[in-house]
Amino acid sequence: MRDRTPESALKALQEGNKRFVVNESEHPRSSYEQTIMAKGIDQNFHAVATVVACSDSRMPVERIFDIGIMDAFVVRAAGNVIGVDQTGSVEYGVGVVDTPLLVILGHTNCGAVQATIDKLYGSKDDLTPSINAIIAKIKPAVLSVLNREDGLNGQSVLDASVEQNVWQGLHDLFMQSKLVRDKYVNGDVKIAGGVYDLHTGEVRWLNEKNVAVTFADVQLKLENKVN
């Protein structure tokens, strides 16, 4: 069993991404033998992180962090949105697999975020109801950027919206999951947000203070619901 403290888990992902960026990936625990071994081993003793990421094929989570089989419990959805299904998967990751780290990972030039921006600017694209449901989850993040940042346009709106959408996902997760809220408050899980750069391969880690800010915002909303 590897060291599964929150700090060591985050450090492992950070160091793995650094190797990936300079083309020095070690591809640990990625052999066929590891697959065979995994059949009879409880992943609770190995997985160090639950990662919520976009479905985009250009950001294979295990590759960009240079990790292997049983290292991460990965939840993927277009736009890294967090609805009921994703919330259940995250709860399984941090509650049953018991990973000490939860990462919400967006990426540059996200098509789902761009589609949301286009929709807000009047795009008439004929999207399916299910895709529109994804856009509805991202919409608050884009509106937050447009209302907060004067003078942004084009690429700058997309970049800021991608980052804000990471925190929107965490907001939705906190709203939907008492288990995750309790794990966070009790210090049982560390939460980190990041944005993967499709051009450089680098993960830019976002300001950790925003986790606490998001949690406080959700707590206030939940208290107001009760009152």
Binding-site residue numbers for Zn(2+) are: 54, 56, 107, 110
Which residue's entry shows tokens 């989570």? 61
Pairwise CA distance, residues 204 & 79, whole Å? 17
Pairwise CA distance, residues 154 & 109, whole Å? 11
Q: Under DSSP, is residue 86 helix (H, G, I), strand (E, B) or coil? A: helix
Query: Could you say which DSSP state residue 80 is in?
Result: G
What separation, in Å, do the N-terminal and C-terminal C-alpha atoms of the chain show? Answer: 46
Side-by-side strand order, sheet with 190-196? 72-76, 49-53, 101-107, 190-196, 203-205
Pairwise CA distance, residues 218 & 178, whole Å? 11
Binding-site residues: 54, 56, 107, 110
Pairwise CA distance, residues 84 & 213, whole Å? 22
Q: Under DSSP, is residue 74 helix (H, G, I), strand (E, B) or coil? A: strand
Closest to 165 in 3D by CA, of 121, 196, 190: 196
